[in-house]
Amino acid sequence: MPQSVVIIGGSLAGLIHGLQHKRRGNNVTILEQESGERHSHYAGIGFADNAKEFLRKYDLTGLTPAFASQSRRWAYYTRPNVMNTKGSIHLTSWGLLMSILRANFDGLASVACPKPPLPAEGDGNASYLSGKRVTALSHTEENVRVHYVDTTGKEETILADLVIGADGINSTVRRLVNAPVFTQYSGYVAWRGTIEEKLVSKETVEYLSDHVSLQFSKSTYMLCYIIPTDTGNFEHGERLLNWVWYTNVPDESPQMKKIFTDSTDYQHHSTVPRGLVRPEVWEEYRSDILPRISGPFKELLEKTPNLFVTKIRDAVCTTATFHGGRVALVGDAFTTLRPHLGAATEQAAFHSNTLEAVYRGEKTPDEWSQDARRFAQRLIYINRIIAELGTGTIFSLAKSIFFYCLFLIRSKLRRSNS
């Protein structure tokens, strides 16, 4: 018998799990709080083995999803070529991956995928409902009732055999199930920008092509990589340069208030959206760093229009399943990873791939929850090492490396005893 699956959150994590259940023959409804289609954040997405495995199993579009990068180039202060190191990662844009997933899930046509694939044999029904804000969950031994309101305030309910919370760092589902969660501000913010490569010099494009480029200076660092457009354009001259710059800002400080007060004098809690960063604030931070970085990164900061800025926060759950496994948290709703590895989509795909064992009855929901926690914990430690390497001190870096090594030792002992 097909199951009824309700997924709360219609971004990448929600679509990953929605497509998985559609292919399994289940009837899936995605409830997305935003009205209309999700708009692109012009964000870069990194994914590795789990995301590639997911697309191999479920993507029928035949589209190329990403660039492959095989190395990292390191710059230090004004020296652009300190060293190169190997490291494979696939890189794409949020909008392109969103289009691929929507085309597979509910047949939504887009510029990137004008002819979505037909449903595969055995697919379940798939519905994507926008403008639906979930307000409550009530459960019995047989199912879960999801309560939500639409944009007019009309209250509705839907019954589900399984509810998946894929609604991000500020997850409503996490709150409704009283999930144990630890949250904290990381100590730094991320300035983010995307610029068409044709708007910068040929020399800068050549420097940034074919690898991830990292720029280190005192207590701060940047990275940049090339991504396709949201419409799936991989052509030279049309591609996008996506960059992130991390700077330390004390919480609740005058600097923090100044950064997160936008050009209309509205103070944001976590993100000042694209186009609303006050020009004088951006100029103050940019002018301070320009003398201390290499030429290609200078050009990015000087020419990128409409950047945005975000507080980097941790949100870590210790449990991913609730109500006997009928409610699960996935992606950022379970653990919000710092963006240094670009692993948010990889985590969502890991959750999808490993939940197969639960659906086949080979693992219990609690066993999967522990797997998800260990996967997230490893990435948390690696992200912290990268953060301390770029924005911290030698002592804080050594401390992060020590705790990561301790985690690896404990994990090895756990496997040997199981």
For residue range 324-348, what is the model confidence (pLDDT) as tens digits?
Answer: 999 999 999 999 999 998 899 999 9
pLDDT of 27 strictly over 80: yes
pLDDT digits (tens, 9 = 90+) for 189-243: 999 999 999 999 999 999 999 899 999 999 999 999 999 999 999 999 999 999 9
**Helix (H, G, I), strand (E, B), or coil: what is residue 114?**
coil
The pTM of the full predicted model, rounded to 2 decimals, is 0.94
pLDDT of 39 strictly over 70: no
pLDDT of 405 strictly over 70: yes
The whole-angstrom separation of Cα 333 and Cα 372 is 12
Determine the length of the chain: 418
Q: What are phi and psi of 192, to 5 degrees?
A: -130, 140
More confident residue, 34 or 43: 34
Please state, rounded to an integer, the average pLDDT across all residues of the chain: 94
Q: For residues 398, 403, 404 and 407, what is the CA-based torsion angle, rounded to 10 degrees?
A: 160
Give the per-residue pLDDT at 375: 95
Q: What are phi and psi of 338, to 5 degrees?
A: -60, 150
DSSP at 116: P
Q: List the alpha helices (DSSP H) in 24-127.
A: 49-58, 94-106
Label residue 38 by pLDDT band (50, 70, 90). Answer: low
The token pair at 252 is 């609740």
Helix (H) or strand (E) holding 70: strand 67-76
Give the per-residue pLDDT at 41: 62
Q: Which long-range contacts (CB under 8 A, 24 or more apart) does 361-364 make?
A: 364/325
* Helices 12-23 & 94-106 angle (0-180, nearest 10): 30
